[in-house]
Structure 1
């Protein structure tokens, strides 16, 4: 789709990758609504802050009514509680699912009629390499992202009938607050935002944005032995 002249809403746009995505869209000529639970925390000039908590149905409905011109939705809002699946607090596991899966789905359900009514457009779900491969430190996060990936695949078929393209962005660790305590290579969120918007403009269904995601994707044919060599 053409970004210049489009109207976009980015969830979780007050910091991290979401803020960079909003900035990149704005630089390319889009009108941008920046969703955040606290709209006062949005400090990017040129965007319209929107109060949006994707786990609150009333908040989602109000945002969809306010941003009625949207033809591009980027579902970026997320959390990582780093909850152990065996011993961790189940309420935190539920919170991850409520955010990444139910919250993202609720936002899509609210905005799909808006986008269709505006002649069609694109939905981008910010996923993760951890939707394809998972490790104990991020057990609940990866499980929720895997569910979001499955939902992305299902909805891209269903929403194609309404001229809405549903894309997924797969990326590893980013140099943001969420990964502040993680050691090892991290991608520049500004660069990933550019790649993501390039993918939207190219009408890509799947945007694999970094080397680690490409390596994991390439390991699929090898099954468990390729994805988890430590089990061999």
Structure 2
């Protein structure tokens, strides 16, 4: 079994991408399954093979412990980690070739709490990787792009997994797609764009962050995809195969 963790900011398209990845692998002859790790989600774009909502009741936690929505989500996510053996048993029963893990909408609950790292380390798998979603609508300015790039780098550090950076909603951003892809591969182009949009402290802070990210090896480009049209999924699967299958593509 190979495991793919799908992470990103709220609204970036994690659940829809999880669904589309499942469809892609299934159409190409592989057995894929989806594990939902979000205890607070109401509706999903796919049918769960393993669902943490079967183990943890977010609403009951809120009522029982007199917690607000955020406090209940924190407790629920920590409780999920305590159920890792049961979750693993259910995953083993399904026994897919590819397990797609849809992480919680609030990325900080999964990436920055010890329970998230615990789940990653204790979910048994031959190979593991992470996909981080850059919301194409959100990163429409160079400063926003650098901000999300910083977050992506931080998440990669926390999860300690080989990571593929994906640009979602490529069908919605029109001519901006070309600019974003240039920012992701050409440091000078991005610095020039920052200079046009900012000045003073914002310029200094943004460029300093950018240079640190570049030195850390961030500038490796983004894979643009559309969950609606399916554009880019062949490239994404190729990147996943290079990590999970030593470059062997899923056969059509």
TM-score by length of 2: 0.43
Which structure would you say has the larger Rg?
2
Larger relative contact order (CA 8 Å, sep ≥ 6)? 2
